[in-house]
């Protein structure tokens, strides 16, 4: 008798959310980044701040890290769920 390969719970959740056309940021806690030009970034569903300088802000998310690079970067405000970064944002990288 062959055993059925077990799929990770996260894959099953993603499949269900996709099939039902539900918003993944709400249902799965996925990272949401909204950029306004290159001067503001609104981040939702992050886990923590790993590094914070005026040239780089590194955040931990549920599934990866995201790095904002530029000049005169600052965190205008943050809560447990969201934050606003301002400055001259030149690059956003997912690590």
Domain limits of the chain? 32-94
Which is higher by pLDDT, 31 or 35? 35
- If you average pLDDT over residues 54-59, what whole number do you get? 97
Answer whether 0.75 is exceeded by the pTM: no
Q: Which residues contact 29 (CB under 8 A, 6 or more apart)?
A: 45, 62
pLDDT-based confidence at residue 20 (cuts at 50, 70, 90)? low
32-94 to CATH, choices 3.40.50.740, 3.60.10.10, 3.30.70.270, 2.60.40.2000: 2.60.40.2000
Percent of the chain with pLDDT over 70: 69
């Amino acid at each position: 008798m062959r055993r059925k390969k077990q799929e990770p719970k996260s894959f099953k959740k993603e499949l269900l959310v996709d099939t039902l056309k539900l918003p993944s940021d709400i249902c799965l806690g996925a990272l949401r980044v909204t950029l306004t030009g290159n001067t503001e970034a609104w981040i939702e569903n992050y886990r923590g701040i790993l590094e914070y300088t005026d040239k780089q802000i590194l955040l931990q998310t549920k599934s990866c890290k995201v790095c904002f690079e530029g000049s005169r970067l600052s965190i205008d405000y943050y809560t447990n769920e969201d934050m606003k970064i301002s400055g001259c944002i030149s690059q956003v990288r997912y690590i």
